[in-house]
Amino acid sequence: MSEAHEASLTTGGTQGAAIRLERVLPDPPRVVWQALTDRDQLKTWFPCDVIVADGRWEPGAAITFAFGPEPDALTIKGEVLEAREPESLAFTWGEETLRFTLTPHGEGTKLVLVDELRPGVAARNAAGWDSCLEMLAGGARDKDAWQPRFERYTALFAPALGEQEGPPAGMK
């Protein structure tokens, strides 16, 4: 793939498809782990507020993903599947499964995110996770970056997966 941070695609599995994104971050795994599990740090890069039951990332813990403070804002439920500090974290995000793997890479961390998902949302999610991981790596939020990324991933993924869905109503 042409870009260093390009998401890759696999087909099959329980959901029908999975996207894989990788980043090398300058901080060690224990610091990156905090960015993945601390609610305040998650707010700086994750696409919504992440509320873990009792604030404890442990298998079986319920998670609420709130996309806004309004009573009618989109809310998704999930569950922690795995939490092995500072190596791996997995949880459901609605019908999807997100898996983060952290491995030491020099003084920093190699982070791998795998999103197991329905084939029709692969391009949308790859574009979104690209943006999120860019912010996790210290980049600025760029609301204009999603559409070109989505178009690029649609061109890459549609031949294998078929038509790709855009963002949910009211989101982008």
2-16 residue pLDDT tens: 344 689 998 877 788
Mean pLDDT of the chain, nearest integer = 91
Residues in a beta bridge with 110: 24, 103
Interatomic CA distance for residues 37 and 50, integer angstroms: 9
pLDDT digits (tens, 9 = 90+) for 115-137: 999 999 999 999 999 999 999 99
CATH number 3.30.530.20 is the correct assignment for the domain at 8-45+82-161: yes
DSSP one-letter string for 130-168: HHHHHHHTTPPP-TTSHHHHHHHHHHHHHHHH-----PP
Cis omega (within 30 of 0) for bond into 159: no
pLDDT at 2: 32
The SS3 assignment for 15 reads coil
Q: What are phi and psi of 5, to 5 degrees?
A: -105, 20
- Residue identified by tokens 């939020």 is 141
The average pLDDT across 48-62 equals: 95
Domain extents in the chain = 8-45+82-161
| Burial bucket for residue 169 (CB in 10 Å: 0-12, 13-18, 19+) | exposed
Residue 169: pLDDT band (50, 70, 90) is low
Q: For residue 1, name the pLDDT band (cuts at 50, 70, 90).
A: very low
- Rounded to two decimals, the pTM is 0.91
Asked if the model's pLDDT at residue 72 lies above 80, the reply is no
**Average pLDDT of span 59-65:** 97
Calculate mean pLDDT across residues 77-81.
Answer: 97
pLDDT value, residue 139: 87
Coil, strand or helix: which one is 30?
A: helix
Q: Determine the pLDDT at residue 171.
A: 55
pLDDT at 131: 92
